[in-house]
Amino acid sequence: MSHAHHEHGHYAEVHTQHNPKPELTEAERAAAAKEAEKAAKEAERVAKREAKEKERAEKAAAKEAEKSAKQSERESKNAQKEAERAEKAAQREQEKEAKKAERAAAREQESEAKKAEREAAKEAAKAARAEEAAQKAAEKEAAKAALKEARKATVAERARLIEERKEATKISGERRDKATHVNYTGNGFSNPQAVSTRGKVLQHIKENYQVGDTIAIEDLAKSCKPFLYGASVRSYLSKLEERGHLDFVAIQPEPADAE
């Protein structure tokens, strides 16, 4: 309803209270009805416009809410996926660290096993060396004892042989006749040192005569003179004869033919 119409109505009301209301003319009634119809249409248009605006606002709000909900849903899903990825990454890292620790433990165990094996091998080798050394020492002592016994036996045997030979070479209770020659037997039972004078005399005979040769003592005295240093060759020949290398022989010179 317009402002003019409102004032007119108020005026009519006042007029009615104090004065009798005058009758409206046909034109006035038509104008008033038209004005009322116009106001009603305007109010309807305003109401429709407000309803449409409200509807648009509600749709926009619903759309915005839906968009916000979808955005929240996407963010929630993204956050969930990120959390899952982070969890999987953490699990992979944990598994990686566990495998790394497992490999390190295995390497340590293998290293300790190899170290123990090396130590055991070292101890076994040490024990084997000690046992070998003890065995060698025992063998050496046994060899020394055997050599000592063999030497004792050799000395005793040589002494026996020397005594037997002395007895065998005695003639009429004497040791031997005055020998003029020696017979090289080649089967003596002693080994005089090569650097000794006796050894040199024997070596000279071996190199210059054959087994069974009969050699004049005077010839040996002359040929052995360089290493006798003034000593008599007969004393060395006597020792060689005692040990069976030589036999003394007395050969009488043949008488000279009478002229």
HSE-CB at 197 with a 13 A cutoff on CA atoms is: 17
The pLDDT assigned to 153 comes to: 80
The pLDDT assigned to 176 comes to: 54
pLDDT in tens, 26-59: 888 888 888 999 999 999 999 999 998 988 889 8
HSE-CB at 182 with a 13 A cutoff on CA atoms is: 28
Do residues 184 and 248 lie in contact, with contact meaning Cβ atoms separated by under 8 Å? no
pLDDT(207) > 90: yes
What three-state secondary structure class fits 248? strand
The pLDDT assigned to 259 comes to: 43
**Which tokens hold the place of 11?**
């005026």
- Domain boundaries in the chain? 81-169, 174-249
pLDDT in tens, 60-92: 898 888 888 888 888 988 989 899 999 999 999
**Which tokens hold the place of 68?**
């916000």
The pLDDT assigned to 242 comes to: 87
The pLDDT assigned to 224 comes to: 95
pLDDT(7) > 50: no
The residue among 162, 161, 166, 187 whose CA lies nearest residue 176 is 166
% of the chain with per-residue pLDDT over 70: 83
Q: For the purposes of burial, counting CB atoms within 10 Å of the CB of 102, is it exposed (0-12), middle (13-18) or buried (19 or more)?
A: exposed
pLDDT in tens, 126-152: 999 998 899 989 988 898 888 888 878
- Average pLDDT value for residue range 222-227: 94
Do residues 180 and 248 lie in contact, with contact meaning Cβ atoms separated by under 8 Å? no
Residues 15, 4: Cα–Cα separation, whole Å? 16
pLDDT(255) > 70: no
Q: Poorest-confidence range of 21-30, 103-112, 202-211?
A: 21-30
